[in-house]
Amino acid sequence: MKSGWIEIISIWALVALATLIATFTVPHPQVLASFGAILASATALVSMIHLFLEGHRGFVKKLVYVAGGSYLMLAIASIYVLFVQR
Q: Locate the domains of the chain by residue range.
A: 4-83
What letters, b where the CB count within 10 A reaches 16 and e where it falls short, cover 11-21? bbeebbebbee
Give every residue of the chain whose pLDDT is below 50, as ranges: none
DSSP code of 31? H
pLDDT of residue 2: 66
pLDDT of residue 3: 67
User: What is d(CA 81, CA 33) in angstroms, rounded to the nearest whole number?
Assistant: 12
pLDDT of residue 49: 87
Nearest to 77 by CA among 26, 29, 16, 30: 16
- How many Cβ atoms from other residues are within 10 Å of residue 71's Cβ? 15
